[in-house]
Amino acid sequence: DVKVTQSSRYLVKRTGEKVFLECVQDMDHENMFWYRQDPGLGLRLIYFSYDVKMKEKGDIPEGYSVSREKKERFSLILESASTNQTSMYLCASSLSGTGGASSYNEQFFGPGTRLTVL
């Protein structure tokens, strides 16, 4: 069974603090993703990584950075937390697809971290 774990289920931080959200997967997946989930907006991709030390911006990268030093771990960093970053953060991982558009590997999600920035 694929397991994606996130370091905290609930986190409360103050405006201006540096925040680290950690994600670990145990299935040797190449791809890892960070999303935020907000009511009425669905899931929006912040950053993703397709290999160690590789990263690409998603749809809403502003205010965030990421780090992937080891294959199993993908960290999301809020350099200076702001109240508009209060959200549910979801991490996901998947194997790399091969063979073009017809191939895909399911994304497996972690339980999420509900971050509140005061």
Minimum CB distance to other proteins, residue 18 (Å): 27
Give the residue with the Cβ less far from other proteins, 43 or 77.
Answer: 43
Minimum CB distance to other proteins, residue 46 (Å): 12
For residues 92 and 39, what is the distance between their CA atoms, to the nearest angstrom? Answer: 19
Binding site for other proteins (CB under 8 A): 4, 31, 33, 35, 40-45, 48, 50, 58, 90, 92, 94, 96-97, 100-107, 109-112
Minimum CB distance to other proteins, residue 9 (Å): 10
Give the residue with the Cβ less far from other proteins, 92 or 117.
Answer: 92
For residues 31 and 93, what is the distance between their CA atoms, to the nearest angstrom? Answer: 5
Give the residue with the Cβ less far from other proteins, 81 or 91.
Answer: 91
For residues 116 and 114, what is the distance between their CA atoms, to the nearest angstrom? Answer: 7
In degrees to the nearest 10, what's the CA dihedral of 89, 91, 58, 15? 30
Non-local CB neighbours of 107 within 8 Å, separated by 6+ positions: 31, 33, 92, 93, 94
Give the residue with the Cβ less far from other proteins, 17 or 116.
Answer: 116
